[in-house]
């Protein structure tokens, strides 16, 4: 990944997952390398409420100034989905957005995988176009990890897509320590989420608890993430996920 792209804008796609949340925090710290950076979340209308809560918490905690968009299907027209802007309170939770898209395009399948295209990519493109951002002046960041490298698009360079968690070669040790602490906090959030839903998810609770214990041990071994990052890069580290969820330090 080029370290200085101050002639380009950057659209950061926040999926609502843990890896994507880490990428947002990382790129917020690196925002000076671009002309402007904006964070966007595409709500499909089929997200779990806990996902929406997590997105909202990350937005407020890290100060992302996140834009929420939803797909708008145009029936009877040869036109891709455009967008409407919503927020945490007005975001669709009934599945109506997804149902409206399949009413036009049909049920998605392996031969016609329209979900990502019409529910995420095209609404984001529509929103970017509305603010004057196009492929000519902006890139798009996707939160794929090194162990997911097979998911990288073959035409990423042509499409202006970057993968910061794979391509960045600077401060990898510090990134790993911060990622460990973030995963610890997110795993603990999963525990509280599962417990609030139903006793039928006891298996998920046990797995999340095991993950939480594992990440806690790694987080302690990593020492203080924030100070390590500051010493290695001379930059201020994003606030840790541990502090995010529990008001604790990164070494908790």
Integer Cα distance of 106 and 55 in angstroms: 29
- Which pLDDT does position 238 carry in this prediction? 46
Q: How confident is the model at residue 1 (pLDDT cuts 50, 70, 90)?
A: low
Q: Which residue has the tokens 């007005």?
A: 90
Identify any residues that bridge with 138 across adjacent strands, giving them in sequence order: 9
- Which pLDDT does position 248 carry in this prediction? 42
3-state secondary structure of 86: strand
pLDDT tens profile 103-122: 999 988 888 888 899 999 99
Give 68 or 206, the one with higher predicted confidence.
Answer: 68
pLDDT tens profile 123-167: 999 999 999 999 899 999 999 888 888 888 888 888 889 999 888
Percent of the chain with pLDDT over 70: 65
Q: Which of 10-14, 37-41, 67-71, 180-184 has the lowest mean pLDDT?
A: 180-184
């Amino acid at each position: 990944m080029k370290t200085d792209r101050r002639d380009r804008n950057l659209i950061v796609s926040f999926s609502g997952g843990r890896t994507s949340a880490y990428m947002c925090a990382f790129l917020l710290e690196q925002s000076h390398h671009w002309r402007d950076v904006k964070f966007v979340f595409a709500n499909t209308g089929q997200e779990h409420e806990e996902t929406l809560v997590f997105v909202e918490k990350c937005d407020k905690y890290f100060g992302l100034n996140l834009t929420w968009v939803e797909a708008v299907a145009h029936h009877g027209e040869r036109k891709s989905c455009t967008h409407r802007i919503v927020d945490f309170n007005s975001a669709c939770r009934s599945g109506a957005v997804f149902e409206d898209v399949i009413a036009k395009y049909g049920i998605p399948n392996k031969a016609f995988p329209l979900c990502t295209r019409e529910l995420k990519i095209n609404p984001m493109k529509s929103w970017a176009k509305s603010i004057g951002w196009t492929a000519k002046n902006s890139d798009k960041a996707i939160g794929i990890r090194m162990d997911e490298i097979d998911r990288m698009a073959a035409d990423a360079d042509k499409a202006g897509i970057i993968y910061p968690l794979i391509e960045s070669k600077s401060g990898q040790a510090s990134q790993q320590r911060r990622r460990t602490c973030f995963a610890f906090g997110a795993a603990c959030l999963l525990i509280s989420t599962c417990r609030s839903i139903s006793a039928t998810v006891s298996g998920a609770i046990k797995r999340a608890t095991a993950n939480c214990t594992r990440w806690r041990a790694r987080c302690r071994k990593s020492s203080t993430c924030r100070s390590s990052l500051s010493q290695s890069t001379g930059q201020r580290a994003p606030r840790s996920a541990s502090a995010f969820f529990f008001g604790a330090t990164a070494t908790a």
